[in-house]
Amino acid sequence: MAFKRDKQMGDTGEALAYEWLAARELVACVEDVSKDPHYQKKDIDFIVNLTTGNQLKVDVKYDTRIDQTGHVFIELISNNTRWSPGNFLYSEADLFLYIFAKSEQVLILPLKETRDYVYSRCEGYKIGRCPNYGYGGKLLYSSLGRLVRYKELLENIESTALVPLH
């Protein structure tokens, strides 16, 4: 049940992000590559082709708690039973888009700059745990990471932005 719910929430976030991206003035087209195994390994949901001829790779996070906590979850360990690296470490995306479920906002984070900033301060952030459940509701593993105030990222990383979803 929890797996199905989490999958549905992720799909909702991706659909909202797709609509938002496609409506941007400088966007020529958005290609949904979220189901492509090649791009899944790179943690990329969309390829965004800009009218300038440039291309951006985007990963989407749909966050139902960010309005309540004020923090983004920076995943460093994807699976604590295998100790596999988290998406913050291996993603080849140019941008992470955090979709705020409640307040309907989009937090735009340039991944390289965000990595540099968070890595240099990592020990100062609280450890977060995100449980992952199977179809029967059984805890399979947890993702581990750091909880970082999104306002801190906005204040300290150039090219970050918080904009309305609609």
Which structural domains are found in the chain, ordered by start?
2-164 (3.40.1350)
Per-residue pLDDT for 164 more than 70? yes
Residue 52 DSSP class: T
- Phi, psi (5° rounding) for residue 58? -125, 135
Residue 1's pLDDT is 40
Per-residue pLDDT for 6 more than 70? no
Joined tokens for residue 42:
């790179």
Instruction: Quickly state the pLDDT bin for 135 (edges 50, 70, 90).
Output: confident
- Judge contact between 130 and 86, C-beta under 8 A: no
Query: What are the residues facing 83 on neighbouring strands?
Result: none
Kind and range of the H or E element at 6?
Answer: helix 2-22
In tens, the pLDDT along 87-124 reads 999 999 999 999 999 999 999 999 999 999 999 999 99
138: Cα separation from own chain's centroid: 25
Q: Whose CA is closest to 147, among 123, 128, 119, 124? A: 128
Q: Listing from the earlier edge strand, what are the strands of the sheet with 139-149?
A: 84-85, 71-79, 139-149, 126-133
Joined tokens for residue 97:
């888009």
Residue 13's pLDDT is 87
- Judge contact between 86 and 59, C-beta under 8 A: no
